[in-house]
Amino acid sequence: MIECIASERIETNCYLIEEEGHALIIDPSCGKFIIDKLTEKGWEPDYIILTHEHYDHIWDLEEVRDHYGIPVIASSLCSERVQSIQTNLSSIGDILIYFKTGEEPSEPGKRFTCRAAEITFDETYTMNWRGHDFEFQRIPGHSPGSVLITMDQNSVFTGDYMIYGEPDMTRLKGGSKKDYDRITLPVLDAIPADFHVYPGHGPDYIKKNDTK
Amino acid sequence: MTNLEKYDNAFKLNFKVSDEDLPGLVYQGIFEWDSVGHMDLMADFEAAYGIQMSTKDVLDFTSYEKGKKILTERYGVNFDE
| Complex-level ipTM | 0.71
Report yes or no: A96 at the B interface, CB cutoff 8 Å. Answer: yes
Higher pLDDT, A144 or A173: A144
Average pLDDT of every residue of chain A: 93
A91 contact B CB<8A? yes
> Chain B contact for A98, CB < 8 A?
yes
pLDDT at A186 over 70: yes
Domain that holds residue B71: 3-14+26-75
8 A C-beta contact, residue A50 and residue A57: yes
Of B39, B46, B47, the CB nearest to A96: B39
Q: Indicate if the pLDDT at residue A45 is higher than 90.
A: yes
Using CB atoms, which residue from B46, B47, B55 is nearest to A98? B55
Cα B62 to chain centroid, rounded: 9
Give the CATH number of domain A2-202; options: 3.40.50.1970, 3.60.15.10, 3.40.50.720, 3.40.50.970: 3.60.15.10
Residue A200 is predicted with a pLDDT of 97
* Within-domain flag for B8: yes
User: How do beta strands A22-26 and A44-49 pair?
Assistant: parallel
What helix, strand, coil percent values describe chain A, rounded to 5? 25, 30, 45
Chain A hits for B51, CB-CB cut-off 8 Å, are none
The mean per-residue pLDDT over the stretch A186-207 comes to 97
CB A149 within 8 A of CB A130: no
> Which residues in chain B are closer than 8 Å to A96, comparing Cβ atoms?
39
DSSP designation for A41: H
Q: Is the pLDDT of residue A211 over 70?
A: no
Give how far Cα A179 sits from Cα of A142, A186, A189, Å: 9, 11, 15
pLDDT value of position A206: 97
pLDDT in tens, A52-69: 999 999 999 999 999 999
> Residue B80 falls within a domain, yes or no?
no
- pLDDT at position A107: 66
Q: What is the mean pLDDT of residues A81-95?
A: 89
Residue of B nearest to A95 (CA): B55
Mean pLDDT of A28-44: 94
Strands (E), A27-145: 44-49, 72-75, 119-121, 124-129, 132-138
**Average pLDDT value for residue range A137-157:** 98
Residue B15 contacts by C-beta under 8 Å, 6 or more apart in sequence?
B25, B30, B32, B33, B37, B41
Instruction: Specify the pLDDT at position A210.
Output: 55
- How far apart are the C-alpha atoms of A33 and B13, rounded to whole Å? 41
In the predicted structure, residue A212 carries a pLDDT above the cut 60: no
In a domain, B65, yes or no: yes
Residue pair A96/A43 in contact by the 8 Å Cβ criterion: no
Number of domain units in chain B: 1
Q: What is the pLDDT of residue A99?
A: 78
pLDDT tens-place string over residues A108-132: 677 899 999 999 999 999 999 999 9
Residues lower than pLDDT 50 in chain B: none
Give Cα separations from A105 to A33, A86, B53, B55 (angstroms).
20, 19, 15, 9
